[in-house]
Structures are given as C-alpha cells and as structure tokens.
Amino acid sequence: MKKLLYVLLFITTVGQAQTIKQYPEPVTFTAEEDRQNMLDQLGVKAVRRGPSGDEKASNHANYDESLANPFPELPDLLTLKNGKRVTTPAVWWTQRRPEIAEDIEREVYGRLPKNIPSVKWTVVLTEKEFVGFTPVIAKELVGHVDNSEYQLINVDISMTVVTPANAKGPVPVLMMFGRNEMPSPVQPNKEDMLALNNALRELLSKDPKIKEILEKYPAYSPLARISPTFGGPPTREQEIIAAGWGYATIDPASIQADNGQGITRGIIGLVNKGQPRKPDDWGALRAWSWGAARGLDYLETDPLVDSKHIGIEGVSRYGKAALVTLAFEQRFAVGLIASSGKGGTTLHRRVFGEAVENLTGGFYYWMAGNYIKYGASEGKFGAMNGSNIPVDSHELIAMCAPRLTFISYGIPEKGDARWLDQQGSYMATVAAGSVFKLLGVKDIGVSNDYKTEKMPPYNTSMLDGELAWRQHDGGHTDAPNIKYFLEWADKMMKRSLSPGN
C-alpha cells in the first residue's frame, strides 16, 4: 500500500511540475524596455520630453495662464458622434455615455480584460480597537486572486475595514487608496509583555555578543508597549469614525505595482500570463480601480456596512484612480477626488504644469499604451498632442453623474503645487455639470461655460449639488476638506448627522 501511495505521489508531483513548466515564463523588462516595447507596437519613433516641475529648469512647465489654452474647444458632452444633440437622460445612458466610455477605455486608461479571475476574500484578523476615543471593529482582509490559470504570478489584495463598534446599524464606508494597516492594534498587558521580553532576552542571549550587551542593561526590555498619543488636530480617520462612518483602506501596490517594470506582474501580469501589454490593455490606474471594485464586492457582504452608501477616495495619483473607479464602477455612491491633476480631473488639452508628455513618459504605465501616441513627435500616426485625444477629463467626471462627486484641491502656497493645474480641474468640473443637470441633479451652481467661469477663492464651498467643488487652504492632502465632505455627503444622502445612525 505504501508503495502505491509513493507511486501516486510521484505521478502527481511530476504532473504538477509539467503543468508549471508549460506556462510561459513571465517577461522581465526594465521600465525603459517595457515602454520601448509599447513604442514599437505603436510605431512611435520619437516622443516629446515632458516639462520639468522645477521652474528654474530650461524646460520648465508653463505657468502663464494666457498660454494655457491653445486648444480651447472641448469635446461636446451632449453631442453624439453622429452630430445629434443629447436632450434626454435615456439618450445619455444608451448612446452618449457608451461612446465616451469606449474612447476613454481605448485611448486613455485601457480596457478591462474579459478573463479577469475571481477574488476570494478572507478575514485574517478581527479586533476591537480605538480610533481616537471611539471604539471600533477593525478587520484585516486578504483577497486572493485565483491564479490557477497561471501559477507563476500570485496576487493577494490587502485591505482593512474599520467600523464604529457602537453603531445602531450598518454605516456608510469610505474606501481609501493608500497604506493599509490596523488603526491601533491591541497591546499586550503588563504580565504578557514581561513574558515576551523574558523569552526574547533568553533567545537573544544565545549569541555571546548580544548576551554581553544584555548583561550590561539588566532592566532593559527589547519590546515596549506603544502608548497612544493624544492632542493635535484629528486625523482623517478619526473624523470619519466620529461622524458615524466607517472606512476601508486598500493597498494599490498589492493589486499592481506603481512602476513600469512591474507591469508584467500584479493583476495585469497575471491576466496576461506574464507577457507585455497590448496598446489598449489596462494600465495601473484602471487596475487599481478594478481592485477597489473587488473590495466593494466584499463590503457589500459585510453586515456592518451600508452597502448602498460606499464611497471611494484618493489623493494625487490615487485621486486619479478614485475618479476612474467612480466613473466606471456605478455601485460606488460617492467619491472624494483630491488633488488628482493630469490624468485625473484636470484637462488633458490644457498646457499648464504637468503635461500629457509627463504621463506618456515616466508614468506611461498608469495609462493604456495607446495614450503614448499623444506625446509622439514622430511615428505612423504622425505628431500628436493632447488636442488629438478624442475625450477629456470633463467627460470622465460626467460619467460619475448623477452620483455624489466631490472635487478637492489645496493651494500652491501650502504645497498643492501649481503643477496640478487647479484651474484646469475647475474648468472640467464646470463643463461636466451639464450632464448632472441633464440627469435631474445639481452641479456646483454656475453656468457650464468653462471658458468664462472664474475659479472662486479658496475656502469657497460649492456644495449645494451632487457635483461639488472646494479648494481648501492646506497642501497636498484632502484632510482639511474631510469635514466638509462628510457633512455634504450626509446631507445629500439624507442621513442623520448624529453618530451611530
């Protein structure tokens, strides 16, 4: 019998080895090699260099508003490609929005593959913790992506979910792109800490040199309790929890690396079986947004979460990802899009600060390969620029309508650099408002003439509609706007402002 088992084990092992061997090895490119591969696929022979953010550099970015709009005409949101006007919500949903989505996917952010494998979520850890002085339930989760079709790449999405412990029912949750960690892990008590330190000192003492050091300091404890800190302004997380919301943090790096050399790994690499992308394949921004949608899948099953009121948030590059997420995943009810710049809310056609050429250069992997064409000075498509892109950011914002969409920026004086082009984002927000109005909700309360409307002074709250704008007086963060966002979202969702309801 043992012999038979050994034979069966040998056959199984050999079979598994042969299965693994039949997979193509994942391609290992540098970012430069991967980008060149895409240039070759596109027939692009030369690209323009992106401007520098250093205003003293010879190739510094333009910050002269009189030169910022060489291509002032935006694609008309409410005109179909056949020239007919969009006059009803039905035409928007069935004809115009699909036209826009097709162009945005093909030319800007890339398409989701049809064969993306499923994700299985596992709760790794649950603890009762505190955020500030509020008791919470914190859960650490891992979403394992099925890699049975290509076992050489493994993707495990990392997410933490934190909800108020004393809530009277399910609460709205704001999902945030960024570092993923438990808020305040429970610390060992005095007796347990003593036992841990005694065991650690004994283990370390096996090294004679370390033992000598420890003998010099007999009262020293290698491990110490982490004391909570109080005082200072509340954190974003504390404000969210205090308002009766929950939050989730999802780690983009666990979905797709934030670099070009990682494009044949992560979820993009897994689906492509380790091979380079095609020109209309998804980039990192779309991959991160896909991961957020998978996180939403889990949140919809959590009884502590109000599944109808889940939001998405991000700052800077993650602000871009949050906008893409809100536009394409209609189950998200609300978005806080902060300091997102080019590739986010600001207009591609604008020539102010960060340029299309910066995204087609070092950050090409955020976008679809096709996007590189618009930074080309020579190639089979000829020389192209942002004006040749068939869509612009006002259309991505419009795809979020009629859901709650809050556009947030800070001010250059505090570190939210002019590079981000706050004015260009305001113009896009103004233009996008026509679709919110068409769908029967309010925009920021001005005309939709993006050429003439003036950006208001900072700290002006334009929060009376489903589309909202507020430029705070802080830096490259949305923390100063969290309070306004939560109050606005609660009002728009007709939710009681008292925590626990």
DSSP 370-392: GGGGGGEEEETT-S--GGGSS--
Q: For residue 355, what are its two tokens?
A: 């340029």
Dist. CA 459–CA 465, nearest whole Å: 17
Q: What is the pLDDT of residue 435?
A: 98
Task: For residue 372, give the nearest of 249, 147, 397, 362 by alpha carbon.
Answer: 362
Dist. CA 287–CA 283, nearest whole Å: 6
Given a contact cutoff of 8 angstroms between Cβ atoms, the answer to whether 341 and 316 are in contact is: yes
The CATH number linked to 303 is: 3.40.50.1820
**How do residues 215-229 score in pLDDT, each as one tens digit?**
888 888 887 766 655
Domain of 127 in residue numbering reads as 66-182+235-492
Give the percent of the chain with pLDDT over 90.
Answer: 82
Please indicate, yes or no, if residue 37 is contained in any of the structural domains.
Answer: no
**How do residues 402-457 score in pLDDT, each as one tens digit?**
999 999 999 999 999 999 999 999 999 999 999 999 999 999 999 999 999 999 99
Query: What average pLDDT does this structure show over 190-209?
Result: 83
Cα–Cα distances (Å) from 378 to 52, 107, 369, 374, in that order, read: 21, 18, 16, 10
pLDDT tier at 63 (50, 70, 90 boundaries)?
very high
Cα–Cα distances (Å) from 94 to 88, 91, 109, 201, 298, in that order, read: 10, 5, 21, 69, 29
Q: 3-state class of 468 per DSSP?
A: strand
Residue 21 pLDDT greater than 60, yes or no: no
Q: What is the pLDDT of residue 3?
A: 55
Q: Which distant-in-sequence residues (6+ apart) come within 8 Å of 227 by Cβ?
A: none
Please indicate, yes or no, if residue 310 is contained in any of the structural domains.
Answer: yes
Query: What average pLDDT does this structure show over 8-27?
Result: 62
Given a contact cutoff of 8 angstroms between Cβ atoms, the answer to whether 124 and 213 are in contact is: no
Given a contact cutoff of 8 angstroms between Cβ atoms, the answer to whether 475 and 415 are in contact is: yes
**How do residues 81-110 score in pLDDT, each as one tens digit?**
999 999 999 999 999 999 999 999 999 999
Q: What is the pTM of this model?
A: 0.91
pLDDT tier at 499 (50, 70, 90 boundaries)?
very low
Q: Which of 3-12, 239-248, 273-282 has the lowest mean pLDDT?
A: 3-12
State in Å, rounded, how far the first CA of the chain is from the last one. Answer: 64
Query: What average pLDDT does this structure show over 275-293?
Result: 98
Amino acid 227 reads S
Dist. CA 109–CA 106, nearest whole Å: 7
Dist. CA 464–CA 491, nearest whole Å: 9
Q: What is the pLDDT of residue 187?
A: 73
**How do residues 456-495 score in pLDDT, each as one tens digit?**
999 999 999 999 999 999 999 999 999 999 999 999 999 8
Dist. CA 314–CA 312, nearest whole Å: 7
Please indicate, yes or no, if residue 144 is contained in any of the structural domains.
Answer: yes
Query: What average pLDDT does this structure show over 54-74?
Result: 95
Secondary structure letter of residue 80 according to DSSP: -
Dist. CA 77–CA 100, nearest whole Å: 9
Q: What is the pLDDT of residue 230?
A: 60
Q: What is the pLDDT of residue 201?
A: 80
Q: For residue 76, what are its two tokens?
A: 């008309």
Query: What average pLDDT does this structure show over 195-219?
Result: 84
Q: Number of folded domains in the chain?
A: 1
Q: 3-state class of 130 per DSSP?
A: strand
Residue 25 pLDDT greater than 50, yes or no: yes
Q: What is the pLDDT of residue 7?
A: 45
Average pLDDT, the chain: 93
Q: Which distant-in-sequence residues (6+ apart) come within 8 Å of 309 by Cβ?
A: 172, 173, 333, 334, 493, 495
Residue 8 pLDDT greater than 90, yes or no: no
Please indicate, yes or no, if residue 432 is contained in any of the structural domains.
Answer: yes
Q: For residue 286, what are its two tokens?
A: 């779309």
Q: What are phi and psi of 178, to 5 degrees?
A: 150, -165
